[in-house]
Structure 1
Amino acid sequence: MSFLIRKKACTKWAIASLFSLAFFSQSAWANAQVLQDYVNQLKTFSADFEQIQPNEELFQLNQSFGHFKLQRPGKLMWEYKRPQEQRIVVDGKNLWVFDKDLEQVTVRPIEDVKSEIPLSWLLYSERIEDKFTIVDAGQRKGMQWYNLAPKEATYFQSIEVGLKDGHMQEVWLYQGPDNITKVRFKNIEENTPLSPEQFRFKVPYGVDVIGQPS
């Protein structure tokens, strides 16, 4: 008799476990699909940004401001205006970084650094789940948040993306529990035409170039 009770209990536990697993799988799929649907419909993105980054040596926060433009797939321009000027361009083949104060340009083929770009999930046409595990991070600050954990080792631990009314508002980059770079977007424009010239990098006259483009 006791064996039959245990057997029935095990059967109920198994059914409950399968149901929970199915529910979790459907929920995880739904979370992934919301973010994927947003990315799929996105052709261009343009916005001003504010970036807050911890300075571990000085025990303070560094604040930067600039402008960001993206054209999917594969083109990006990230420009810091202040406090120091720096321009980062992905032209589809190469990653260019121009540091005005150093009068120096660094260039690397994009295939060598693709996995190191925190916005690679947004920049390319690959399914996000191919490279990241997507977890619903809940609601806060009036936004729905999604956590993206890279499936292969990279310099960051995870990324959080905040959506409000179906539009990207913030991106947080986690390099550790106390090392979080926070980017907030404003003056956002989506799917408006952008000139191809904005994603073509021209080496300024007289600056040093480190690396070779592909």
Structure 2
Amino acid sequence: MRSLLLSSFRLRRAGALLALALCQPAAWAGALESLEAFIQATRSGRAAFTQVVTAPPKDGQAARGKQSSGSFEFQRPGRFRFVYRKPFEQSIVADGQTLWMYDVDLNQVTARKQSQVLDASPAALVASAPDLKTLERDFSLQAAPDKDGLQWVLATPRNKDGQLQHIRVGLRTGDKGVELAALEILDSFGQRSELRFTAFELNPQLPAQTFQFKPPAGADLLRQ
């Protein structure tokens, strides 16, 4: 009798584990649906962010992260503004044609054509791609397990010669829709960058000048 009970228990346990295993991929697949919903429904956004950049450990020393913070705004298609306020002031502005990077301490501006730098970048996941199909031209997209109360999508660049190994996108479903909550970026040198977004606003009305940039007088201008 004991043997039969154990066998029955094992069967039930195996069945429960199998059911759990079958349910997980369906739940993870929802992350891709959430990403598509975010891309389709979110025409603009605004949030505060913190960023921690961690270089790979060297000579047996523990990796140490450097933290910065600021604000982020975007508007589809292809316009965004990152403003870093701490510990150093820096602005990164995409106006639809040109990507501007302004370092306040160096009083230096770098200008590059957006079309050359954004298609396979984290910005494409957030502000450039009009739909999931377009995004998949440059990224292999895979749903990942939920973590920290977020749905996650793993995006791996199809171009293996680029500067990125992969990007993880963390999404949260709020009262007004799907929100961007996190970006985790691993580059080809093993450096990690983790961004967390708070106070996310879905579809705010952003003034046109938000994404305009004019190099300050006296700043060095480098065009690439």
Shift of 1:161: 0.9
Give 1:172's match in structure 2, choosing from 169, 177, 184. Answer: 184
Q: Deviations over 1:44-97 (max 9, x none)?
A: 110010000114578411000000000011101011001000000000000000
**2:150 is the counterpart of 1:150:** no
| Partners of 2:112 and 2:139 in 1: CA distance | 24
CA 1:177–1:163 in 2, change beyond 3 Å: closer, same or farther? farther
Per the normalisation by structure 2, the TM-score is: 0.77
Alignment: residue pair count: 190
Q: Matched residue of 1:192: which SS?
A: coil
Q: Which moved more, 1:87-96 or 1:112-121?
A: 112-121
TM superposition outliers: structure 1 runs of 4+ over 4 Å: 25-31
Aligned partner letter, 1:40: Q
| Partners of 1:54 and 1:31 in 2: CA distance | 26
> Identity over aligned residues, as a percent?
29
Does the 8 A contact of 2:30 with 2:143 survive in 1? Answer: no
Per the normalisation by structure 1, the TM-score is: 0.80
Aligned partner letter, 1:133: S
Aligned partner letter, 1:162: G
Q: Deviations over 1:72-129 (max 9, x none)?
A: 1110101100100000000000000000111100001111212353221222225322
| Partners of 1:118 and 1:156 in 2: CA distance | 9
The correspondence of residues 27-176 of structure 1 with structure 2, limited to 5 A, is 31-56=31-56, 59-115=63-119, 117-124=121-128, 125-127=130-132, 128-153=135-160, 154-165=162-173, 166-175=178-187
Aligned partner letter, 1:115: D
Structural RMSD (CA)? 2.5
Does the 8 A contact of 1:28 with 1:134 survive in 2? Answer: no
Give unmatched runs, 5+ long, in structure 2: 1-24
Give unmatched runs, 5+ long, in structure 1: 1-24
| Partners of 1:38 and 1:116 in 2: CA distance | 18
Q: Matched residue of 2:105: which SS?
A: coil
